[in-house]
Every structure is written in structure tokens, then in C-alpha cells.
Amino acid sequence: MIEHGDASLRVTVPMVIANARALLEAGRSFLLSGARQELTLLDLAAVHEIDSSALSVILAWLRTAGERGVALRIVSPPASLISLATLYGVCELLPIA
């Protein structure tokens, strides 16, 4: 579901409503863990299916990271994520690396 290294999260499943709760919790768990990084990369290269719940999950992760003083940067976002973010007017909130 989510693979993580010292300063990265790699999502390996579709970011759709069926996976949203599990993804939210897994990402938050990593971000709230004792490991403190100034920068964490969110790698979405393996994500091939996205719906609007992905934006909610990502925005929640960004909030959690910000509360911990961690900069979260998105790497390899799918075009569908950018399209949805543009449609909802939140594209400028996504820190694309």
C-alpha cells in the first residue's frame, strides 16, 4: 500500500475511495513517527488510478506534515491528480517537486 524510506513515502495502490481510509492512516502514521525529516518526498509514480478522495488524503498528509515541521513534496504526480486539483481549484496547494 505505502512503502517508506527514511524520507519518502511511495504509494503503490490506487488512490480511490476504497483505499482512502487505509492510505490516510498509513501516511499519517509515518509522518507522526519518531523519525523527523525536514523534507519528505511523496512518490506517486506507481499510482495509476486516482479519484477525488486522493486530494483529501494528500491535503490531510500535508496538514499533518506541516504540524510536524516537515515539508512534503509530491514526486511524479499522475496527470489525473493535476487535472482534479485544477478542477477543484486546489492545484496551488499541491507542492509538486
Query: What per-residue confidence (pLDDT) applies to 34?
Result: 64
Residue 42 CB-density burial (10 A; 0-12 exposed, 13-18 middle, 19+ buried): buried
For the stretch 54-70, pLDDT in tens is: 999 999 999 999 999 99
* 7 vs 96: which has the higher pLDDT: 96
Q: How confident is the model at residue 52 (pLDDT cuts 50, 70, 90)?
A: very high
Strands (E), 1-97: 2-5, 8-11, 39-43, 71-75
Per the CB < 8 A criterion, the answer to whether 54 and 14 are in contact is no
pLDDT tens by residue, 21-49: 999 999 999 998 866 678 999 999 999 99
**Overall pTM surpassing 0.85 (yes/no):** yes
Domain interval for residue 26: 2-93
Cell representation of residue 87: 478542477
- Is the backbone of residue 69 left (phi > 0), alpha (psi -120 to 50) or beta? left
Count of domains in the chain?
1
The SS3 call for residue 46 is coil
Which CATH number goes with the domain that contains 7?
3.30.750.24
